[in-house]
Structure 1
Amino acid sequence: MSTINECCHGHNTQKIEQTKVHCPVCNTEGISVSKVTVEHLVTDDYLKLVDGEQYKICMNGDCSVVYYNVDNGVRFLKEQVKVPVWFKKDADPKYACYCSEVTEGQVIEAVVKHGAKTVKEINAITGAMKNPNCKENNPLGVCCHKIIQEAIDKGLKME
């Protein structure tokens, strides 16, 4: 839902109403994530706060919120999660494959130095996707294939 308002300079602005599917801090629409993923990735100090089933991950790289619950308002920030989330600002290391701890830099290096062009070639060179447990290790709770492909694309642009 949105409404049109006028800002102090006389321009029309659109005010977006907060909804449960949007991040409570930045209002970016989140992507559904399994409670299992959240339970495995929040730090032990915050594990007892994981309650409810409806979790989302904030996809805004500049926002400090990683996970939020649409039912009870619980949210977990970057520093409350065990791993750096690759698309969040200042993620270090920036993993392409969480299960095998392969970084985006390693994927790009495999492309630039070894000529890898496919996910299969990256897997052979770096060991990515050898120990799959994505639901528990990847912050999105899904296979890292897409993240690896994005890193390959970055590497191909550098050639």
Structure 2
Amino acid sequence: MGGCNCNCNKREKNKKICPICKEISEYIDRKIVREVVKTDIQRFIQMENYYICKNNDCDIVFFNENGDIMLLIRDINMRADFNKLKENSSPNCSGGSCGCGK
């Protein structure tokens, strides 16, 4: 689906409601989340779907599919080049980039 040749449904579930502010949030590649969080937080990033909350008034930046992992502003490495990472993100599943783990 979505050109990744696996059974993942990332493209179908590309939006989710933020568990805190209840605004619509968009899918973001797990690799991007891992690269922009602080080093001591990276170990908590699992191979699953993540979403970005774009509400400036919300404390959450990223959260996982179940909403049980919520990454706050304080968890983000502010020196990370978020835009460059987003540009380099590939849409295929090699290495589990779509969150399916394949």
1:21 pairs, out of 16, 21, 24, with: 16
Are 1:34 and 1:55, in contact at CA under 8 Å, matched by a contact in 2?
Answer: yes
Give TM-score scaled by structure 1 length. Answer: 0.41
Query: In the alignment, which residue of structure 2 is the partner of 1:11?
Result: none
Q: Which stretches in structure 2 are left out of the alignment for 5+ residues? A: 1-14, 89-102
Are 1:56 and 1:69, in contact at CA under 8 Å, matched by a contact in 2?
Answer: yes
Instruction: Percent identity, please.
Output: 25
Give secondary structure in 2 for the equivalent of 1:25: coil
User: Following the alignment from structure 2 to structure 1, what is the Cα–Cα distance between the partners of residues 26 and 37?
Assistant: 17
Query: In the alignment, which residue of structure 1 is the partner of 2:68?
Result: 73
Give TM-score scaled by structure 2 length. Answer: 0.62
Name the structure, 1 or 2, with higher relative contact order (CA <8 Å, separation 6+). 2
Are 1:66 and 1:76, in contact at CA under 8 Å, matched by a contact in 2?
Answer: yes
CA RMSD, Structure 1 to Structure 2 (Å): 2.4
1:134 pairs, out of 65, 69, 84, with: 84
Task: In structure 2, give the amino acid aligned to 1:26.
Answer: C
Distance 1:72 1:60, change over 3 A: closer
Query: In the alignment, which residue of structure 2 is the partner of 1:53?
Result: 48
How many equivalent pairs are there?
A: 73
User: Following the alignment from structure 1 to structure 2, what is the Cα–Cα distance between the partners of residues 21 and 41?
Assistant: 20
Give secondary structure in 1 for the equivalent of 2:17: coil
Are 1:43 and 1:80, in contact at CA under 8 Å, matched by a contact in 2?
Answer: yes
Query: In the alignment, which residue of structure 2 is the partner of 1:120?
Result: none
Are 2:19 and 2:67, in contact at CA under 8 Å, matched by a contact in 1?
Answer: no
Distance 1:78 1:60, change over 3 A: same
User: Following the alignment from structure 1 to structure 2, what is the Cα–Cα distance between the partners of residues 46 and 59?
Assistant: 20
Pair 1:64 & 2:59 matched = yes
Q: CA deviation at 1:31?
A: 1.1
- Name the one with the larger helix percent: 1
Structure of higher CA gyration radius: 1
Are 1:32 and 1:54, in contact at CA under 8 Å, matched by a contact in 2?
Answer: yes
Q: Which stretches in structure 1 are left out of the alignment for 5+ residues? A: 1-19, 85-97, 100-132, 136-140, 144-159
User: Following the alignment from structure 1 to structure 2, what is the Cα–Cα distance between the partners of residues 61 and 68?
Assistant: 15
Q: CA deviation at 1:73?
A: 2.1
Distance 1:21 1:82, change over 3 A: same
